[in-house]
Amino acid sequence: MDIFCYETEVSCVQKMLSQASDGSCQKEMERFARAIEEISVMNENEDCCVREILMAVMCTTSIDDIICEIPERNIRIVTSQNGSDVSGRHEKGEATLSSVDEAVYNAEWTSKPVYQSTPKNHYQAKRGRTEQIIAYADKEIGRISYKQTPSDQQRKVDQYLVAMAARYIAYSLKRSEVRRWSQERYGRPLALMGSNRRIHAIELKIERASRSLFPVLIEGEFGTEKLGAAISIHACSNRKNGPFIEIDCSNTKTSLADCIIKAKTGSLCLNNVNQLTSANQAFLQSQIHSHLGQWIGSLSAEDARIISTSNENLRKLVQDGRFSPTLYAELSILNFLVPPVRERPNDITTIINNLISDLDMNKSYGFDEEALAVLRSYPWPGNIYEMKTLIASITLVSDGGEVSANDLLAHGCIGKLSVNVNLN
């Protein structure tokens, strides 16, 4: 019985695709990737999202039927080309790690796995069926079972695409979970938005960061989803039931000592850490554990996990003598950059839909293609915050329906956008 090794087979698939004379297979896989990226963020209903991703798999591959089970969400979807029920129990074969999980375990900053043994990411099943584990941060969320194709070459492509779909299903479910968690805790759904590849790269880092207690530094321009990323790290970790204490470091009246105490067994979010005063930098350094061994002290299970955000390049502040190099080294063990909206024009529609939904108004809104072209062309220096202001102003003064570029002009928005559009 053949064993599916994700890392080996993916390289084989990529080599096979590169050797394709017309490039049609490569283009088909790129279309598939874009399709499931969009599906994963456009569907708020988890069941609908999973079902559409599975349908995209069936439309792209030679697979005839798929069973997807996600017990925690009470999701069980049976999809087949002929509409027949293909459910049933299947014995598991041997398993190997995917390249993604292998990289996670090899990362220097990760903690030990949750399980005693390495979680199995993919199973080759008997009776001509294959099982793909849907996993997030060492934990199995669900499984995808599908019927194999006789062709060895096509089977490799199918396995690769199903594994890709499983990753997007996991990230989509976690993103929904973070939004619910944030809504329950803070009355507003804070999470990453969009399907840009750089956003999914951040979601991969969030998954890896959720395994450890190492400090994380999240940088990005004013108005980007830095706080949403910070909340995602906390809500996806085993500390999600503990406190998440946010400090606005620009507010000098906030008691840093009190916040550190309140954040025990949870996470301490240093929002706008670039504005932390020199005195508070020195105090914070005296209160936190050194993961790099810069000073003596042991890590307690009750110590707060430090997550920092900055709208300036903290390394440059260190070079300019405006931030402690010792503290910077501790806070930036893991760091990543949230991209600005102007670098994600294809995410504009998704972000707008999310913002309109978050307003929770009784009227329905949408933007026509000309208006969307205007919004995609604008550089958005204020990023998500500026978009929220625009959406709120339009929805408050209009009666619902589709918003046109002329409507943007009527509400005084085009002057701000200053882009070249043909307004009849």
Alpha carbons within 13 A on the beta-carbon side of 125: 21
As its CATH architecture, domain 342-417 has: Orthogonal Bundle (1.10)
Domain residue extents for the chain:
6-177, 213-338, 342-417
Tell me how far apart the alpha carbons of residues 237 and 201 are, in angstroms, rounded to a whole number: 18
Q: Considering the entire predicted model, what is its pTM?
A: 0.79
Three-state secondary structure call for residue 75:
strand
Residue 81, pLDDT score: 63
Tokens found for residue 203: 């979601």
Angle CA 354–355–356, to nearest 5: 95
Residue 10, pLDDT score: 41
Q: Are 135 and 170 in contact (CB under 8 A)?
A: yes
Tell me the H-state helices in 134-275.
152-186, 197-209, 226-235, 256-262
Distant-in-sequence, close-in-space partners of 82: CB < 8 Å, separation ≥ 6: 64, 65
Strands (E) across 363-418 are located at 365-367, 401-403
Residue 224, pLDDT score: 95
Tell me how far apart the alpha carbons of residues 409 and 261 are, in angstroms, rounded to a whole number: 50
CATH class of 213-338: alpha beta
Tell me how far apart the alpha carbons of residues 280 and 272 are, in angstroms, rounded to a whole number: 13
Q: Are 331 and 306 in contact (CB under 8 A)?
A: yes
Averages of pLDDT over runs of 10 residues in the chain (424 residues) are 36 45 57 72 76 86 87 84 45 39 41 34 58 89 84 79 89 90 89 84 91 94 95 94 94 90 95 95 89 73 89 96 95 94 88 79 76 88 90 76 79 53 40
CATH topology of domain 6-177: Beta-Lactamase (3.30.450)
Distant-in-sequence, close-in-space partners of 159: CB < 8 Å, separation ≥ 6: 4, 6, 9, 122, 130, 132
Distant-in-sequence, close-in-space partners of 23: CB < 8 Å, separation ≥ 6: none
